[in-house]
Amino acid sequence: MSDDLITVSLEAVGDPTAEVYARLFAQFPDVEERFRRDTTGAIKAEMLTMVFDCLMNPAGPYQANVVRTERVNHDSSGAASEIFDRFFWIVRDACRERAGEAWTPATEAAWTAQIERILAASR
């Protein structure tokens, strides 16, 4: 199952928070200002937790509507859909980099398929 491959890959990754947000802010510099009030990192951690939960258990009761709801929330706060969607790919890319050789073609395929499903279901 792809969610099993994702779970295993996350064990090899550790905490990718710094890399994820460095990539996000490099690609979308204006977004960094939105995180100024996140002095403890709690908002960043919550966002990553949501992404990981959706990737590992896409059929779970929480995951069924959370991405759709968050898309609406982000849209209403001025975050473009492009940034919202890109965040999932940024997470994947940062995790791939941290996993190194432990990241296999099957892992890549599992992440890609799961992200595509999640984003398609949220539109």
What residue spans define the domains of the chain?
2-121
Q: What pTM value is reported for the model?
A: 0.84
What is the CATH class of 2-121? mainly alpha
| pLDDT tens-digit readout, 21-36 | 999 999 999 889 888 8
What does the pLDDT read at residue 111? 93
Burial class (CB in 10 A: 0-12, 13-18, 19+), 119: middle
H helices within the chain, ranges in order? Answer: 2-13, 17-27, 42-56, 63-76, 81-99, 105-121
Q: pLDDT band for 15, please (50, 70, 90 cuts).
A: very high
| Contact predicate 88/52, CB 8 Å | no
